[in-house]
Structure 1
Amino acid sequence: MTSHALPKQVVEVCTTWLDLVDGLAPGLVTGLHVRGGVGFGEFVPGVSDIDMVAVLAHRRSYAEVDALAESHALLGERGLAAPLDGVHVTASDLARDPDDCPDVPCVLHGWFEAEGRYDVSPVGWHELAFHSVPVRGDLPAVWTDHDRLLAFTRNALATEWAAHASSLAKFPDEAATDAATWHVLGAARLLHLVQTGRQTSKSAAGRWALATLDEQWHPVLHDALRLRDGLPGTSPYADPADRGADVAAFVAHVVASA
């Protein structure tokens, strides 16, 4: 677990949600911990989501699941700075292998799912254990296994990220958009984990890749960091199609390297 001051926007979103859920289901949420870019101290206003894990006092009832759903719906209506994404689990869920965790209430970009598995994985558990900041309560014991973390990441690259690489090559218009930043820095983040054994943020992974990988990848990495971090300057790509080709090639390179 890390320790640093939370950005004002993060505090506002988290405390607003806690007030809402406490009013709808008093005593249900005993802990709230933020991770992701916030946990790594790399929150980018206007770009970053707020990744969280809410710890529940007990296995939730149907009425309490409805209360969780309503609390997130109400939060979305407030129009605050960033969406609150994550899972709602018990301490006993966190204490065991995530493969043994049952489906749990999840929320992603305002979409609430009563039984889901968003980030119920070795990556999510490991990041929570070592790179999270408490908003409410002490973090309970969290299961981690470094070998499983690496194996899970390699498998993700060989399956879903290989599919991303194939899709980007087939649909170059998608690869050419600003949204391709997610693909470039997301892939760099996984490669960083496989090669160094350590988790990091998307932006930090992009900076690591610039210092580590061949210069042919520097333009697409610079462009991704420019877009994500709001850095000054213009794109090195005069033609969006050239960016799209480099995005697709970079993701394919990361998949092959790992």
Structure 2
Amino acid sequence: MRVSLFITCLADQLYPEVGESVVRLLHRYGCEVDFPEAQVCCGQPAFNSGYQDEAREVARGLIRAFEHSEYVVSPSGSCTGMIHHYYPLLFENEPEWKRKAEELIAKTYEFSQFLVNVLGVTDLGAVLKAKATYHASCHATRFLGVKEEPGLLMSNIKGLEVIDLPRKEDCCGFGGTFAVKMADMSEAMVCEKAGHVCSTGANILVGSDMGCLMNIGGRLNKDNQPIRVMHIAQLLEEGVKNGESGR
């Protein structure tokens, strides 16, 4: 199975280790992973700011980059959600590009979604003695319907106590450009979210979008809360290493 990694802007520029964890786990299950260097932003910042023409041009570049890929996997529910939910809208008046967008949609998956629903992997033999809570990002749950997959993967990590996050359906306040345009409201939202994370007593916060994790993690750090912030791919990889070493 050939898989192309769509790294996304945040992971590429700030959290490359997340992409590395994704690649190593995909290799573990027999995937041949490539990285099309022509890939660009999904266009979400421009789209959210009302620049649809500019977003459309960026989207064309991403479609071209993955045109010959068998599968496309991303460590971001948000960017994957942009492709699935808004690309058909961007190209609704361009039949040829809409067809190409739909072809990309059909083969593009968020990481946990691909692991569970395509590879059929739910138990990686991971071991990690810790308490964790999971932040379900808005785009992954609402746009993609990724609701059960992360929890299923975490429930099979031996030694991991998974604690339900209060008001887990609430946004963390990041929302990309929303955090810049509506800074005061965004801060109030992330303060509330960080408080809920702390209330669980977990020592690890897990998520599937680095934008959300960057936002919540920044608040936790500012409040001097010693809570590790991990993408689910990082959590799984660390657990797999523990399992293989017998810890």
Q: TM-score normalised to the size of structure 1?
A: 0.30
Q: TM-score normalised to the size of structure 2?
A: 0.31
Q: Which has the larger radius of gyration?
A: 1
